[in-house]
Amino acid sequence: MDQVYNFSAGPAALPKEVLTEAREELLNYRGIGFSVMEMSHRSADFAAIINEAEEDLRVLLGVPDNYKILFLQGGASLQFAMVPLNLMKKHRRADFIHTGYWTKKAYLEAQKFGEAEIIASSEDKGFTYIPDITRIAVNADTDYVYICANNTIYGTRFTAFPDVKNKPLVADMSSCLLSEELDVSRFGLIFAGAQKNIGPAGVTVVIIREDLIDDNALEGAPTMLRYKTFSESNSLYNTPPTYAIYICGKVFKWLLREGGLKRRGEINRAKARIIYDYLDESRLFKGFVSRKDRSMMNVTFGTGNKDLDEKFVLEAKKRGLTNLKGHRSVGGMRASIYNAMPIEGVKRLVDFMREFERDNYV
């Protein structure tokens, strides 16, 4: 097998250039005689790594000066608790736009700390669309409004963001951050588990407006669950996931070399268009979600026949097209085409889909 294309939803493929660089530095990082994995997080060498990673991410996203960038642990799932612990402090209330599995988890966690209300939902149609954001009514006494910008399981995304009436907009961007240009100033807080577009599992990126960082976290909030703790320590309050941050830094530099997020967005839209154009003409395969809300990162589709779907996944794997099985709650197939997936991989997938349709459509 000459080439394997990994369509995993996460942990996902990393750029080959990044993996090659990491391999070359694995045993001896820039002549210091040992690996980054063995490096003290208090050393000058690691300080240079984390500071450079932060600066490159700030450049990539155009992060305003009044925002902090934090490298945390616990995955995006820990943010389901950390966000209300730190932001649900004035009214003890949060509004949610419910678009699936991950917003439900965040909503249920927020209920432990105050009142959480779903102000819009797409549950009525199995989360196959994004609710009309022009019609939502944000509560005047809410502390923040919460969304999941891209839904990895269902294959939907916000193509525009809601007007939240000067309330902080909090966004889980685990599966779409760095996939295209973004106006960070629209948000009070963005968080993203790294293992999609950013780097390996183990680190979570948080971008938070400075006025949301203060001593007013909910009473009893643990030190390790306060944003201020990590803001004041440059994400070094305790030992961070040093190697994961190092790899993230290499991904940031790769993106900058490749033309930044403007160019990356163009590439990702082209990749998604190749698959969706085929799905729109296919007699066998059908996309699962509303056309206007289709994700650029996670393409969900199926034949409508469970046995045929299983056959497709097995035969695709033999062709070097791996991890195409859909999430258990949705079924069918899912092709995750994050930044590291080359356009050649997407074309190879569509070529196989055409062949499979020719041989199996009755």
List the catalytic residues: 102, 172, 196
Q: Where are the alpha helices (DSSP H) in the chain?
A: 16-25, 44-61, 75-87, 101-110, 227-232, 242-257, 260-281, 306-318, 343-360
How far is it between the farthest Cα atoms of the chain? 65
Structure tokens at 230: 């990590």
**What is the distance in angstroms between the CA of the first residue and the CA of the last residue of the chain?**
30
Helix-helix angle 260-281:44-61, to 10 degrees: 60
Contacts of 329 (CB under 8 A, 6+ apart): 101, 153
Contacts of 251 (CB under 8 A, 6+ apart): 14, 15, 18, 178, 197, 198, 199, 339
Rounded distance between C-alpha atoms, residue 67 and residue 330, angstroms: 37
